[in-house]
Structure 1
Amino acid sequence: MTARVAVLGLGAMGLPMATALAGTFDVVGFDVAPERVALAVEAGATGATSVADACRGTDVAVVGVRDGAQLDALVLGEGGVADSLPAGAVVVVTSTVGEAAVRAVADALAARGIRCVDAPVSGGPVRAGTGDLLIMVGADDEALAAARPVLDALSSSLTVVGGIGAGQQLKTVNQLLCGIHTAAASEALALAHRLGLDLDACIEVLSQGAAASFMFADRGPRIAAQLRGETPPLRSRLDVIGKDMGIVGDLARQLKVATPVAAAAEQLYRTVAAAGLDASDDSVVATMLAKEPTW
């Protein structure tokens, strides 16, 4: 029998994940934005009008939210996942929300006989749509076995690192590097822009040498578009990378680990957000860096 999978949250990552899963599973999608549900239906999913509707008779619920507050509301709020999923089902948390948030949700779900897998993903929307994600998993053996077919369909690289919370821990380390690399790519191309260099040529050359990184290759074209005064597609919101770097900073302070470069990157994102650009693609950082001083 084909498993029924609910994808709850059809944002930048949730929609392509629903698309990737729709070819293999009976997928139902829900989002607070009806237009996102319509896109999921176009991709082969069934649309739901509420969380309860999506969870009815569901075996696996894949959750994609922006932060811990949204996770708590979606899963533990009235009429949410915990109220709606049948006992024995499993919730897969794919978002970067921090260890404490996923542990609290997992404990609440366990009290209702619902299992949980801590499975933050990395790779971006394009790779999500082709089942090519890196997934860092924290779960017990029983929960992992129940979710494994779905996780395998979404990933090309899946690593089990421990129990609930361990996936979030490793993803926090991952995001430390992603946040720094994105800030560095913005600085490098802002400098190239002010020098009058051809940005497309810079991206092509730098992507082949020691300066190459996934984040540079992924963000570079959008950064170049921003610096040329164009509006690139919105794929990675500034407030999301800022939130992730906040999780990095909180964990580093808790453990008393010095992370001065990550702290500088976090402050850069906060500075750009304070200019009212929270909802912009995070490539917008370069435009702030490249501005000529007024003094």
Structure 2
Amino acid sequence: MAERIGFIGLGNMGGRMARCITGAGDALLGFDPRAAAIDEAGASPAASAADVVAGSDIVLLSLPDSKVVEAVVYGDPAFLDAVHEGQVIVDLSTAAPESTRRIAADLAERGATYLDAGISGGAAAAEKGTLTLMVGGDADALERVRPVLDRFSEQVFLCGGSGAGHTVKLLNNFLNAIALSATAEVMVAAKKADLDLQTVLDVLNASSGVNFATLNRFPKIIHGDYLKGGLTNTLMLKDVTLYLELLAGLGVSSLNASGPVAAFGLARALGYADEISNTVVDAIGDVSGGVRLHDRKDEA
């Protein structure tokens, strides 16, 4: 018998992952506070998150952070009451590992398995089904749900026990935040120095300064395409904050967090809070004399 699949949280990333599942012909039971999101994902509507759990063998969660995940899991008693023996629940959110392990233990008492699966690749990879997943939890449970995860991922790594996937996700996102904010600063400086920005990127990408932002973000940004649909400045700052909480718990000093905290905090303060985090370059440009990397006539 085919596994019944449910999805809770059909927003910016969840909706794209869900469409990869339904686009492959799989039936999907979905819940999101926005009814339109359920329709857009091609899912059958559930009245609540608890109803998704009750009607599914495999449940996927894609929510903003641990506070929201905990509100869903613990806020309505019907949710935990609906958890059943043999069920696998996969949390695709960016969440605090300590919270993840607590939820995993509570679900285990009810006979279910909780996998944490951090994702990387952004909206574009979610749309194409080529995300990278960092998974923590039981290896057998991962193999069971892998056919579902393969609908929207290209690489799946088992990183360790419960919480390991979300831990690796925070480590990765911190490096992403460093690369994006630092490259934004460099590119604003290059613009003010009257350098050809494409040439600068070509040099960086052939040199030791190469990173994900120089390879994948700024070749578009310099032409005014901010690749809308990805992580916002608010969410990027949230991820860096979670990283700092992780390091505090591990007893590791962070000597490099001040840069992205300042950069994405600046972006929020200047009105870019809910814009894609690539607009951090405009925030830096704003306080550097109104700099834009691209011709303003290209702005929508």
In the other structure, the counterpart of 1:31 is 32
Give the corresponding residue for 1:21.
21
What's 1:50 paired with? 48
Tell me the TM-score normalized by structure 2.
Answer: 0.86
Q: Which runs of 5+ in 2 are unaligned?
A: 290-300
Paired residues for 1:72-221 under 5 Å: 72-78=70-76, 81-199=79-197, 202-203=200-201, 206-207=204-205, 209-221=207-219
**One-letter identity of the residue aligned with 1:153:** R
**How many Å separate the matches in 2 of 1:130 and 1:283?**
20
One-letter amino acid of the structure 2 residue matched with residue 5 of structure 1: I
Q: Which amino acid aligns with 1:181?
A: A
Distance 1:159 1:6 in 2: 22
The code of the aligned residue for 1:189 comes to: M
Name whichever of 59-68 and 80-89 sits farther off. 80-89
Work out whether residues 222 and 283 of structure 1, in 8 Å CA contact, stay in contact via their aligned partners in 2.
no
Alignment-mate amino acid for residue 6 of structure 1: G
Q: Percent identity?
A: 30
> What is the TM-score when the length of structure 1 is the normalising length?
0.87
What amino acid does structure 2 have at the position aligned with 1:132? T
Structure 2 partner of 1:40 = 41
Q: In structure 2, how many angstroms separate the alpha carbons of the residues matched to 1:81 and 1:220?
A: 43
Change (3 A) 1:31 1:293: same
- Kept after mapping to 1: 8 A contact 2:6/2:55: no
Cα distance in 1 between the residues matched to 2:44 and 2:37:
12
| Contact 2:83–2:110, Cα closer than 8 Å, also in 1 | no
Pick closer, same or farther for the CA change 1:36–1:199 going to 2, 3 Å: farther
Residues 1:215 and 1:30: Cα distance change in structure 2 (over 3 Å) = farther
- Using a 3 Å threshold, how does the CA distance of structure 1 residues 114 and 201 change in structure 2: closer, same or farther? same
CA shift in 2, pair 1:232/1:139, >3 Å: closer
Answer yes or no: is 1:10 the counterpart of 2:10: yes
Alignment CA distance shift 1:19-1:192 (3 Å): same
Cα 1:218–1:6 shift into 2, 3 Å: farther
Determine if contact 1:4/1:25 at 8 Å carries over to the other structure.
no
Deviation at 1:32, TM superposition (A): 1.2
Q: Which amino acid aligns with 2:266?
A: T
Query: Which stretch of structure 1 is more off in the superposition, 239-248 or 130-139?
Result: 130-139
Range 276-285 or range 203-212, more displaced: 203-212
Rounded Cα–Cα distance in structure 2 between residues aligned with 1:179 and 1:137: 21
SS state at 2:274 partner: coil
Moved over 6 A (4+): none
Q: Paired residues, what number? A: 288
1:282 paired residue among 274, 277, 292: 277
Cα distance change of structure 1 residues 293 and 153 upon mapping to structure 2, 3 Å threshold: closer
Compared CA separation, residues 286 and 159, structure 1 to 2 (3 A): same
Partner of 2:28: helix, strand, or coil?
A: strand
Tell me, yes or no, if the aligned pair for 1:189 and 1:223 is still in contact at 8 Å: no
Deviation of residue 221 (structure 1)?
5.0
For 2:14 and 2:26, how far apart are their aligned partners in 1? 15
The whole-number CA distance in structure 2 between the counterparts of 1:202 and 1:94 is 36
